Amino acid sequence: MQISSRFTIALHILTCIDTFKDDYKITSDFLAESVNVNPVVIRRLLQQLKAAGLVNVKRGSGGAEIARPLEEITMLDVYRAVDSVDGEGLFHFHENPNPNCPVGRNIHNVLDGRLNKIQDAMEEEMKKTTIADIVKDTQKCISKQ
């Protein structure tokens, strides 16, 4: 199972908001043009980011702004804000392994703990990267062009 593209789009949105905040009104249409998706997708994500306290959105064509210092927003915050995976976690286990098969009967016992450790490790890594880090690295790339 892949993590939903909502996660990377949300990171893109936050990076755009900070990058262009002084030069443009940051609307869903503006963001949609950068991400190359329908503005409805952007509006839904902005609402999720707003509900998580990561952005402020002004009604109408007021635009969006980041609600907290970039150094205080981690990739994990964004991941959780936009429901990148369903409530069951990163790995969706097939629901009905055959209990009459020795593998089917034991596969949950063998994999569940390992898969939880993998998800925990990924989330720990996400805590280490802030939106400030992403913006800084994006600016480096822009300046090289």
**pLDDT of 86 strictly over 70:** no
Amino acid sitting at position 72: E
- Report pTM: 0.87
Quote the pLDDT of residue 88: 63
Domain of residue 77, residue span: 5-144
What band does 83 get if pLDDT is binned at 50, 70 and 90?
confident
CATH at residue 132: 1.10.10.10
The distance in angstroms from the start CA to the end CA of the chain is: 35
Quote the pLDDT of residue 95: 79
Domain count, the chain: 1
The H-or-E segment that residue 108 falls in is helix 102-127
Model pLDDT for residues 126-141, shown as the tens digit of each residue: 999 999 999 999 999 9
Q: Reduced to 3 states, what is the DSSP secondary structure of residue 84? A: coil
